[in-house]
Amino acid sequence: MCGIAGVMMRDGTAPDPAVLDRLQAAIAHRGPDGHGRLVRGPVALVHNRLAIIDLVTGDQPLFAPSGAALVANGEIYNNPELRQAMAGTAFRTGSDCEPALWLYEAGGTGFADRLRGMYAIAIDDPPRGRLVLARDPFGIKPLYYITTPSLFAFASEPQALLAAGFGSRVPDERARAELLALKFTTGSATIFPGIHRVLPGETLVFEPSGIVERRHRAALPPGPPEPIAAGDALRRLDQVLLDSVSVHLRSDVPYGLFLSGGIDSAAVLALMSRATGQRIQALTCGWEGAGGIDETAEAARLATAMGAECHRLEMGPADFWRLAPRIAAAIDDPTADAAVLPTWMLGRAAAGSLKVTLCGEGADELFGGYSRYRKRRAPWRWLTRRPRSKGVLGGAGPWREGIAAAEAAVAGDRSAVQAAQEVDIAEWLPNDLLTKLDRCLMAHGVEGRTPFLDPVVAEFAFRLPDARKVGLRFGKLLLRDWLAGAFPQAGAYARKKGFKPPVGAWMQARGDLLARLVAAQPGVAAAVPAATVAAAFAAADRDSQRAWSLLFYALWHSHHVLGLPAEGDIGDTLSAAARG
């Protein structure tokens, strides 16, 4: 896992070394184990390395005989199988990313179709005079780019492009409205005008004339649900989950697990123990005092039952007040999801002993875990609103255009449950959950792996009949049935609780002060009436998301737009922003 960036000049001149220095410095936290740089004609690639596989010879860029060069942020889990299939190839390193370069040499821009993993890849191809960018189909790893009349530039994080002098820090109003309504932004365009995401599964080809090719690798298989008998479904699920977790454990450094106490991480724990036969290291995060949904006692119980070692972290109101500005500063592509708070804490704790952690992201989206999926099944869908019909701050509006576009893109043969899943996998998953995971962990040089988000798992899970995903009371029915047999102590039929800190109570304790400071923050003042801000904080203990969205945006704007350091606490940060 690493940070990558680069520049391609349109006029053939060499990129400015000072720009490359700024790009590399801005992504240094993503790769503390080494750095590489290639400047060749009009193209430059930079790379900061977090060494996970091939600790000795895996430095990047990697080179092919033709002269093509690759830098990558990711893990290619089927590296051994690719190397076996490419017997006779003169590989130069043991890097898991090197087969991707040889696949490009042999097959061109369709190279990513054979990769099983999470990746953001850049290839400089001098013989063809082009720069190629590719991102994994679920969008687990981020990649951003900007085009100007003089150049193309890309980076693992938009803040690196901004630090290099590219793009605008003035928030796009449409994206700002989306963020405040949905908690995240949709599509290719980011909140920073001019800076775009490489979409999940997208491969882009840049030449001096512009973007000359776009390819897309789908995360999900085509077609409606397919029937499958209950016993066959359980046997097949066991096979695909064990296979996915086994390949996700390929690592040359210590690994562990984030254990929430819910069924997703419990399933991963059981599979890790079965695949390795070893004592698993787990981390869990709870809350100081009463309040919130604290499942750490359940996590500890599950760890004991499975023979794992579980370390409990604790976050309290003092941590929240002190760390929230720093956490908001890490989320440059903003998501107002309060789970960033414990996730950042877990990343910081893991950095002391682990370089790799497995996580449960993606199980809800693929196996049907959310209540909005249950509401999509007939006859309930005729009696309920469509998902995300109302924004966090209330009401409908243009902010829904991105989600509506994703809904319109769903194929007509999908079931209603599949359609809701597909929209989430296209937008909510990469732009909220996976952005949160990437930034919170990479801020501390830790790699997060998501075994549910695997092509083999998706091929099986997405085509399951709706009735094997969602029922009247529960979602993830097949996964629960499997867990009940594989790990009976896990409480497979407990209701979903989520990973939710008591942020509402923490904000309510200083509600009057926060309402005043947030309303005066320039970014919030330009977008939200002071009365709306006051009402949100007055009700923070009952409806925490409204207040947290406003507070997060105020902290995010203070750092990423106003350029204020994230060194003080919430009061210091917002007071400085109000002073201008």
CA nearest neighbour of 183 among 561, 547, 559: 547
Q: Which fold has domain 2-216?
A: Glutamine Phosphoribosylpyrophosphate, subunit 1, domain 1 (3.60.20)
Rg (CA), the chain: 23
d(CA 491, CA 414): 32
In this prediction, residue 383 carries a pLDDT of: 62
Three-state secondary-structure class, residue 4? strand
Q: Which own/partner pairs from 224-230 qualify as long-range (CB within 8 Å, at least 24 positions apart)? A: 224/413, 224/414, 224/415, 224/418, 224/463, 225/415, 225/418, 225/463, 225/464, 225/465, 225/466, 226/463, 226/464, 226/465, 227/465, 228/464, 228/465, 228/468, 230/468, 230/481
Q: Give the CA count within 13 Å in the CB-facing half-sphere of 529.
A: 4
d(CA 393, CA 518): 15
Three-state secondary-structure class, residue 127? helix
Low-confidence ranges of the chain (pLDDT < 50): none
87 near 69, Cβ under 8 Å? no
In this prediction, residue 495 carries a pLDDT of: 76
CATH 3.40.50.620 in the chain is located at 230-490
279 near 287, Cβ under 8 Å? no
Whether omega before 379 lies within 30 degrees of 0, making that bond cis, reads yes
Joined together, the tokens standing for residue 198 give 């490489």
Three-state secondary-structure class, residue 269? helix
d(CA 291, CA 7): 49
CA nearest neighbour of 320 among 540, 507, 538: 507
d(CA 428, CA 101): 30
Joined together, the tokens standing for residue 262 give 């819910």
Joined together, the tokens standing for residue 181 give 């309504």
d(CA 176, CA 186): 11
CATH 3.60.20.10 in the chain is located at 2-216
Q: Terminal CA-to-CA distance of the chain, rounded, Å?
A: 38
20 near 39, Cβ under 8 Å? yes
Q: How many CB atoms lie within 10 A of CB 226?
A: 10
Three-state secondary-structure class, residue 348? helix
Q: Is the dihedral of CA 485, 497, 260, 30 positive or negative?
A: positive
567 near 555, Cβ under 8 Å? no
CA nearest neighbour of 4 among 58, 42, 44, 41: 44
d(CA 479, CA 493): 10
* Yes or no: domain 230-490 corresponds to CATH 3.30.450.40: no
